[in-house]
Amino acid sequence: MKKIILAACLFTMFSAVAVAQDEPEEPKEKGFDKSKLFFGGNFGLGFGNVSTLVNVSPQIGYRFNKYLAAGAGINFIYSSYKYEWLDYKEQYGVAGLNIFGRVYPIEYIFLQLQPEANYTWGKQKSLSSDSEIKLDSKIVPSLLGGVGAAIPTGGRGYFLISANYDLLQNTRSPYGSRAFFNFGYNFGF
């Protein structure tokens, strides 16, 4: 009797596996899928007696699969610092383009590389006289490397936090010589 029950169980199990294998898979759509687009970037404001900072850096990207995403964006940064003990004020502007690539080794954790070309300009002005020195305007390349997290906020949005570092370390890099944090939000994917 035990052999009959065992045979019936094995027959049922193999029949279920065979049926499951016969069902056709859903066809995967090829080409551009606009539901994989995401929009976001960084926006920052800081005002004080000594300094001012305005950062508007929108980005658009595409999530190719659960492991890879890439996109592009623009940068605009304006900063002003007053150095009273040195008797001057510095104003600095940055406008540029960037592209980025992200790898997600774990679902919400990413590694990112972001090459940038930023046009920089500025001036230094004496606080006690009318003297002014214009800084050379030039294009400064940067290569940001970083690690971050994409934290779901419900729906199709993600809060982003990342630690980044400019790997090229060019003089007049808008990012300086230290690691820095970015906070942003992505709509989509």
Q: Which residues of 142-178 are buried (b: 16+ CB within 10 A; e: fewer)?
A: bebebebebeeeeeebbebebebbbeeeeeebbbeee
Evaluate whether residue 103 is within a structural domain: yes
Evaluate if residue 21 carries a pLDDT over 70: no
Q: What is the pLDDT of residue 29?
A: 65
Would you say residue 18 lies in a domain?
no
Q: What percent of the chain has pLDDT over 70?
A: 84
Domains held by the chain: number: 1
pLDDT (tens digit per residue) in 40-64: 988 888 888 888 989 999 999 999 9
Residue 9 lies in a domain: no
Please tell me the predicted confidence (pLDDT) of residue 18.
41
Query: Is the residue at 167 inside a domain?
Result: yes
**Residue 5: predicted pLDDT:** 47
**Residue 77 included in any domain:** yes
Residue predicted with more confidence, 12 or 178 = 178
Spatial separation of the C-alpha atoms in residues 184 and 21, rounded to whole Å: 44
Per the domain annotation, does 62 fall within a domain? Answer: yes
**Tens-digit pLDDT profile for residues 98-157:** 999 999 999 999 999 999 999 999 998 988 888 888 988 999 999 999 999 999 998 888
Residue at 23 is within a domain: no
CATH of the domain at 120: 2.40.160.20
Strand partners, 160: 150, 184
- This prediction has a pTM of 0.74
Residue 109's domain spans which residues?
36-188
Side chain identity at residue 171, one-letter code: T
Residue 104 lies in a domain: yes
